[in-house]
Chains A and B, each alone.
Chain A
Amino acid sequence: MRRRHRRRDRGFSLLIVFMLITVMIGVAATVILSTQQDLSVAGQDREAMQAFYAAEYGIAQAKDFLASALAAKGINAGNFVAGGGWTPILAQVSAAGVTQGCATGPTNASARMAWQALDGNTRWTFCIHNNSGDVAYLDPGGTTPAGCVGKSGDACDERDPLHLVTIEAWGASSTAQAHVAVDVGSVSLASAAWRQY
């Protein structure tokens, strides 16, 4: 009877050790996974910010581009409307290879300009348009300017009494992408509205 007991006891401590080791492996795996998650979240957050700032880089580049185009055409606040508003500027934008119209718009299916490298893993691009049918067109509703009903052209655009032009810019890093849209409401290029999404 006593001998049988001992035989049953044999291997007991080894069993306990195997159980302990299993628990330890479980703890180690949890700790490793948690650390990996910490590092991954920190990295993703950084990449998202870098993509956002790359998009902002695109917005600044677009403003610089528009300012140069206005200067080249001799357009200023005094002759802006008489000169046709944004129409000749947008034509110049198209001529320079920066596509007027944005790929995400419901009516403008044309592509935006090619991605430009910013740093090792970040890039930016932008497009410029005054298409009120585009989801990114932020022009608030207004009254149609006098004498402009049914007429086309930016200076007399009934959809655009404030003469806004929309810059859309995209930034991307290896794991994140950002999209920023800005309305530019005057030839001084001061932002009429900042609505980012």
Chain B
Amino acid sequence: MRAQRRARGTTLIEVMISMGLVLIGMLALFRVLVTSVTGSAAASHFTQAELRAETLVEAIRLAPAATLTCLSATASASWSTCGASYALATPTDRNGQRYVLDGGSHVTAGGTSGNFYDVTVVIGFSDDNYHTVAMRTGVYP
């Protein structure tokens, strides 16, 4: 009789300890999952920003000399005035994340021959913070 009562009590404590441990484990797992989802989203945003930067850099690399002159004389916010290809064609991805052509983007004419263009394209996006992806290259048309 006494042994049975002791066994019943132990089981109750066991169940409580077990539930506590499971709860702690679940909380930790939940936190890991949240971090993972945030991390995966960040990786996706960086990739999307990189693709947009790449598209813009390629458009600039293929641009004729007159367009390069226009781009070098125009602030990046108004690059679309030099041609539709020099603005972000899809500023929002399918998850609703918005990308912008950062003000740090520029095309600078120079070089010894005067025909060299230094091209920097910076794409920015905001999640918890503002992030940028920059691509820099040179063009000699």
A residues with a Cβ closer than 8 A to B are 3, 6-7, 9-11, 13-14, 16-17, 20-21, 24-25, 27-28, 31-32, 34-36, 38-39, 41-43, 45-46, 49-50, 53-54, 56-61, 63-65, 67-68, 71, 118-119, 122, 189
Contact = CB atoms under 8 A, between A and B. Distances in A.
Given A7-B7, A45-B47, A57-B136, A68 B113 contact: yes
A17 B25 CA distance: 10
Given A24-B26, A63-B140, A118-B136, A31 B42 contact: no
Closest 7 CB pairs of A and B: A60-B138, A53-B137, A57-B138, A64-B111, A68-B112, A35-B39, A63-B140
Given A10-B7, A27-B29, A46-B46, A34 B36 contact: yes
A32 B18 CA distance: 25
Interface residues of B, number: 45
B21 A21 contact: yes
A13 B137 contact: no
B115 A16 contact: no
B7 A49 contact: no
Interface string B62-84: 00000000000000000000000
A53 B135 CA distance: 7
B48 to A, nearest CB: 10
A154 to B, nearest CB: 21
Contact of A13 (B11, B54, B113): B11
Nearest to B42: A39
B22 A14 contact: no
Nearest to A12: B14
Contacts of A10: 7, 10-11, 14
B89 interface: no
B28 to A, nearest CB: 7
B137 A14 contact: no
Contacts of B11: 9-10, 13
A49 B61 CA distance: 14
A31 B33 contact: yes
Contacts of A54: 136-137
Contacts of A27: 29
A64 B22 contact: no
Contacts of A17: 17-18, 21-22
B116 A61 contact: yes
Contact of A50 (B25, B33, B135): B135
B35 interface: yes
A133 to B, nearest CB: 27
